[in-house]
Amino acid sequence: MDFFQVISLEEAQHRLQQKFSQNNIAIEEVSLLEAQHRFLAEDLAAAENVPDFNRSTVDGYAVKAADTFGAGEALPSLLMAAGAVRMGQRAEMILQKGQAVAVPTGGMLPEGADSVVMVEYSEQFDADTIAVYKPVSPGENVIACGDDLRRGEPVLVRGTWLTAKHIAMLAACGISKVHVYRPVRFAIISTGDEIIEIDQPQQIGQIRDINSYGLAAMIAQWGGEVAYRAIVKDDYDALKAAMEEGLRQADVLLTSGGSSVGERDYTYQLMQELCQDDVFVKGIAIKPGKPTIAGKSGGKPVIGLPGHPSAAMTVFRVLMGTVLKQWGMQLQETIVPARLSANLPSAPGKTTFQMVQLRQEADGFIAVPVFGKSGMIHLLGHSEGYIVLEAHQEGLEQNQQVLVHLL
């Protein structure tokens, strides 16, 4: 491991931030539903008041609240029926003292009205008279113009990863098209003589290309694209050709499996060549994931991920999350507090990513560490997330509060 110059995770992230301060991802305008799971490329503010009229929240009668004060079952307020507002139409009349105007739920209050009496607490006495059996206060059963959102108020910020909730919010603002970043394109190259396609018959000693699938699925989950994918033997020329093709087609080049120290491992050598010696991460003090390398080629990130699938997925998330954030794209992450089920030793000087299972108890979640020696299917299948032990931490104690990053 003599060529590794291990640095801290913070330092690796800091270098990524410095190297990739520029965002070369194009911005495109898409319709609202196409925007789902894309990163918003603009700050959005309300173009109008929402609602843009005083709106009733119930079926009933628009009134001046003062006209209902003191009303009761025994002695109703009697108001003059002054017409009806129809759904979806402007209230043309101006409500005078002593009048009541019928309004449906969602309907517009006429000018002069400040509240709505629910239909349940009123009665049409005769053609001209409405009886009100319960007083209302000013503003009751009304959403006033701009109550939900005032013109110019910020709605969503650049970098938001758009989900169903955001789509509904934007629809309510009348925003039907938004500017988003085009999907970030990734190239994934798996290296190693032992790596085969997952649908190939497996010979003794061979390993299926799990990493490509795990990484591609994570990329798809964020709204990214896999533009190029290859499995390459430990062969200098073949690996060079694949890496060059990957860099041509994608914004980010990922290699996996080749960054440990095999005798016939060309990944590191080729990264030096393609990045013109700008390989600025050569090992990170993290567990698992130490043999991680990162460089810059033609302005694009080139990341050599560790071979172990769960390590590859964690490292990819942490490093790529840093780059995407720097590019103005904020990965959504769900973090939940939990209490640790058992003492957990730290790896001194290393940031440790510990996979955990979550168990729900009466007073919260319990995080149960899952150990992965026996392999990745067991590890992934039993884990709901991971916790991060900082390099300076002395280990964690049973019942200590931890934060679990959900997978």
Q: Tell whether residue 137 is a contact of a second copy (CB under 8 A).
A: no
Report the residue from 16, 63, 101, 108 that binds a second copy according to the rule CB under 8 A: 108
Report the residue from 75, 94, 168, 342 that binds a second copy according to the rule CB under 8 A: 168
Give 391's contacts (C-beta < 8 A, 6+ positions apart).
8, 9, 285, 348, 349, 350, 351
CB of 39 or CB of 365, closer to a second copy: 365
**Amino acid letter for position 179:** H
Q: Tell whether residue 152 is a contact of a second copy (CB under 8 A).
A: no
Q: What is the three-class DSSP state of 315?
A: helix
CB of 55 to a second copy, least distance (A): 8
CB of 210 to a second copy, least distance (A): 5
| Binding residues with a second copy: total (CB under 8 A) | 94
Site string (40-59) toward a second copy, x via CB under 8 A: --------x-xxxx---x-x
Give the H or E element holding residue 169: helix 164-172
- Which region, judged by CB under 8 A, interacts with a second copy, from 19-27, 199-207, 244-252, 391-399? 199-207
CB of 20 or CB of 365, closer to a second copy: 365
Question: At what angle are helices 309-326 and 210-222 packed, to 10 degrees?
Answer: 30
Integer Cα distance of 334 and 356 in angstroms: 14
Residues 290-329 interacting with a second copy (rule: CB under 8 A): 307, 309-310, 313
Q: Tell whether residue 163 is a contact of a second copy (CB under 8 A).
A: yes
C-alpha 314, offset from chain centre: 17
CB of 224 or CB of 295, closer to a second copy: 224
CB of 229 or CB of 296, closer to a second copy: 229
State both tokens at 256.
């996996």
> 67 and 97 in contact (C-beta within 8 Å)?
yes
DSSP letters of 111-143?
A: BT--EEEEGGGEEEEETTEEEE-S---TTTTEE
Which pairing describes strands 207-208 and 195-196: parallel, antiparallel, or unpaired?
parallel
- Which region, judged by CB under 8 A, interacts with a second copy, from 127-135, 179-187, 297-305, 358-366? 358-366
Report the residue from 381, 397, 398, 399 that binds a second copy according to the rule CB under 8 A: 381
Give 303's contacts (C-beta < 8 A, 6+ positions apart).
252, 253, 254, 255, 292, 293, 294, 316, 319, 320
Residues 75-94 interacting with a second copy (rule: CB under 8 A): 85-91
CB of 62 or CB of 274, closer to a second copy: 62
Report the residue from 174, 298, 345, 395 that binds a second copy according to the rule CB under 8 A: 174
Report the residue from 94, 157, 217, 342 that binds a second copy according to the rule CB under 8 A: 217
Q: Tell whether residue 143 is a contact of a second copy (CB under 8 A).
A: yes
C-alpha 178, offset from chain centre: 17
CB of 212 to a second copy, least distance (A): 8
> 188 and 229 in contact (C-beta within 8 Å)?
yes
CB of 274 or CB of 387, closer to a second copy: 387
- Which region, judged by CB under 8 A, interacts with a second copy, from 238-246, 318-326, 370-378, 388-396? 370-378
Query: Where does residue 250 rank: exposed (0-12), middle (13-18), buried (19+ CB within 10 A)?
Result: buried
Residue 37: closest CA among 235, 178, 215: 178
Q: Tell whether residue 394 is a contact of a second copy (CB under 8 A).
A: no
| b/e 149-184 (16+ beta carbons within 10 angstroms → b) | beeeeebbeebbbbeeebbebbeebebeebebbbbb
Q: Tell whether residue 241 is a contact of a second copy (CB under 8 A).
A: no
CB of 65 or CB of 274, closer to a second copy: 65
CB of 403 to a second copy, least distance (A): 8
Report the residue from 172, 331, 368, 388 that binds a second copy according to the rule CB under 8 A: 172
Integer Cα distance of 33 and 26 in angstroms: 19
